[in-house]
Every structure is written in structure tokens, then in C-alpha cells.
Amino acid sequence: MNINILAIESSCDETSASIISNGKILNNIVATQSIHEKYGGVVPELASRAHQQHLIPVVHEALQSSGITKSDLSAVAFTRGPGLMGALMVGVSFAKAFAYALKIPLIEVNHMQAHILAHFIDEPVPEFPFLCLTVSGGHTQLVLVKDFLNMEVIGETLDDAVGEAFDKTAKLLGLPYPGGPYLDRLAQKGNPKAFSFPITEMPELNFSFSGIKTAVLYFLRDNLKKDNHFVENNLEDIAASVQQSLIKMLMLKLEKAAAHHHINTIAIAGGVSANSGLRKELEAATERLGWEVFVPKLEYCTDNAAMIAMAAHYKFIKGEFTDLEVTPIAKMKI
């Protein structure tokens, strides 16, 4: 019997659909919502409306380009959480109606678990147990991955996500949204030792990224009082210095976790894994600590339905299905 699954992702600002057939991803269709750019952040109500507009075309394209018809489908999968409630509701309602109409099983997927299972889309794949650092605009988590569906969160941010810290700092510097990639580009040309920003160390393996945005705010205010052109004249050095502090906070806990759990296999997921500073530090750690580091293709790092499909495949094999009364959970835990 073939296992063909249609997967839907709608937790934040990407509407995505993917088809997986017998564990192989056939496609990954993503409609990005550019409407949020002019507001400098994701506007939940606009995200829900855009999901409603994009979802059916995206599913249609996924089915058409895969050559799999509706009657070939074995199940339909969706992101149950975590995410924006209204955005999740669009995907959940669609998946329920689709499963009901086709009389096929429904599979709920935890978005954070799916980010980690994105590592199993393409070779080479990490061996269990491994540590995964998931870093994006909405999440910063350290997870001990024991098996496909057996994961334990061993550390997480207690306030802002690291991507949020990148974006908020970039906004203070007048960069477009989302500012992470812009800040990264500037940082590559700057001196990371030019200025110093605080490294916040939380207990155990947890993170805190809200302090840095306030530190940058006061730093800019004080320096702008002395020099009107301070930001323009020092943009690259400021970007490099902030980036270095953020990456240092991530690396401190990642190294601590690896040492504590005696694990050398490290995986990175989420949009911030594109960051050049983080990649450089990971490369250095490969040499220094003997780590083996896994980073999926960028397409599978940012929010996408292929990772939801991958997670759904493992759940299908285990017979983990959901009933039609299911509702989204905005703060769903792994």
C-alpha cells in the first residue's frame, strides 16, 4: 500500500502545502505573505485572511504538480500548534473538512517537532540521540531528540525569540522587516568588537533575548545625542557587535547542553540558521569540539509544509491519528 499524505502549514505567515509519498517529499509549495512588511511585523488578523486566500490555490498546486490525485491520498496532516490562533484555525478547519469529505484519516502535527524532523527530508540525516537548536522569529528551543517522535525540550527562551531580537534591533537601525538577513549582511562587513552589548545568562539551559533590544535602544539614544549621524556612520560595526552577542548567547547554551548530555551530533533548524555568524561559530565548534553539525536546506529551515509532511509520515506509520473534533493549540508543547 502506498502512503500518500497531503500536509498543510498555516501557523504564522507562510501558507504551505506539501505531498509526501512513502516517506519521500514530492513538493513544497509556499505562499509567503508580504503584506506584513509595511507593518514591521506579522499582523495576526491579516495573516488569517491571507491564509484563507492562499490555502486552496496552494493545495491545488501541490496536488497537481505531484501527480497524486485526491483519491490517492491516505491521510491529510496539519499544524495544530504552536502558532497564531486565527492562522492555525484556517489550516485546521481546511484539513478537517478535507479529511471528512474524502473519508481519510487526519494527522495533527506539532510545528516545533516538525522543524526538527525537517532533518530527515534529505540525506545525510543525524543519528539519534542528537541535540537540535531551533531558532526562528517565533521560537528558540534546545531539544534532546531521542527518536522521531520522542523529544524533550531541555532549554528555551523565557521571553523573546532570537529571530525577534534580530528583527527588533534591525528595526531600531532603520532596516526593513524582517531585519535578520539585513543585519547579517551588514554584520559581515563590520567589526564585532567595536561595541559591547550585554550577554544575558539565564539559569540552566534557558535563554533571554529581550535585554539586548533595550540595551541597543539606550545605546543608540545616548550616542545619537552626541552625534546625529552615529547610526549611518557605524551601521556595520553596530550590526556585527549585536550579532556577535546574540550568537554567543546561543552557542553558550548549546555547548553546555552538548557537554551535559555527552552528545556531539548537533542539528540546527529555523530561519535564523541562515545566519552567517552562527554558521561560522558552528564550523569552529566542529573543529574545536568534534561536533557533527546538520543544517537542512534553507527551504526546509523556514516555515514550510514539507516538514509537516515528514512528521505526518512517521505518525501515520505509528497509527497516530486525530479525530474530527480537534482544535488548534496556540501554545502547544512538544
Q: Between 261 and 279, whose beta carbon lies closer to ligand KG4? A: 279
Q: Between 67 and 176, whose beta carbon lies closer to ligand KG4? A: 176
The CA-CA-CA angle for residues 139, 167, 16, to 5°, reads: 55
Query: Among 15, 21, 74, 275, which residue sits at the site for ligand KG4 (rule: CB under 6 A)?
Result: 275
The CA-CA-CA angle for residues 213, 217, 218, to 5°, reads: 120
Which 3-22 residues touch ligand KG4, going by CB under 6 A?
A: 12
Q: Name the minimum Å distance from CB 138 to ligand KG4.
A: 4
Q: Is 184 in the site for Zn ion (CB under 5 A)?
A: no
Chain CA centroid to CA 281, Å: 19
At 6, phi and psi to the nearest 5? -95, 130
Q: Is 47 in the site for ligand KG4 (CB under 6 A)?
A: no
**Distance from C-alpha of 193 to C-alpha of 245, rounded to nearest angstrom:** 10
Q: Name the minimum Å distance from CB 332 to Zn ion.
A: 12
Sign of CA dihedral 12, 14, 17, 23: negative
Residue of 82, 176, 97, 65 lying closest to 138 (CA atoms): 82
Count of positions on this chain that bind ligand KG4 (CB under 6 A): 19
Q: How far is the first Cα of the chain from the last one, in angstroms, to the nearest whole number?
A: 30
Count of positions on this chain that bind Zn ion (CB under 5 A): 2
Q: Is 303 in the site for ligand KG4 (CB under 6 A)?
A: yes
Q: Is 303 in the site for Zn ion (CB under 5 A)?
A: yes
Q: Is 82 in the site for ligand KG4 (CB under 6 A)?
A: no
Q: Between 134 and 322, whose beta carbon lies closer to Zn ion? A: 134
**Distance from C-alpha of 5 to C-alpha of 187, rounded to nearest angstrom:** 42
Q: Between 76 and 278, whose beta carbon lies closer to ligand KG4? A: 278
Tally Cβ neighbours within 10 Å of residue 72.
Answer: 14
Sign of CA dihedral 2, 328, 18, 94: positive
DSSP code of 233?
H
30 binds, among Zn ion, ligand KG4, none (CB under 5 to 8 A by kind): none
Q: DSSP per residue over 11-72, as a string?
A: SSSEEEEEEEETTEEEEEEEEE-GGGGGGTS--HHHHHHHHHHHHHHHHHHHHHHHT--GGG
Q: Name the minimum Å distance from CB 140 to ligand KG4.
A: 10
**Distance from C-alpha of 38 to C-alpha of 36, rounded to nearest angstrom:** 6
Site map (CB under 6 A) of ligand KG4, residues 132-171, x = contact? ----xxx------------------------x--xx----
> Residue 43: what residue type?
V
192 binds, among ligand KG4, Zn ion, none (CB under 5 to 8 A by kind): none
Q: Which residues share a beta bridge with 268?
A: 133
Which 186-205 residues touch ligand KG4, going by CB under 6 A?
A: none
Q: Is 28 in the site for ligand KG4 (CB under 6 A)?
A: no
Contact segment (CB under 5 A) with Zn ion among 199-207, 243-251, 299-307, 325-333 equals 299-307
Site map (CB under 5 A) of Zn ion, residues 121-140, x = contact? ---------------x----
Burial class (CB in 10 A: 0-12, 13-18, 19+), 17: buried
Q: Between 136 and 322, whose beta carbon lies closer to Zn ion? A: 136
Q: Name the minimum Å distance from CB 277 to ligand KG4.
A: 8
Footprint of ligand KG4 (CB under 6 A): 12, 136-138, 163, 166-167, 178-181, 184, 270-272, 274-275, 302-303
Footprint of Zn ion (CB under 5 A): 136, 303
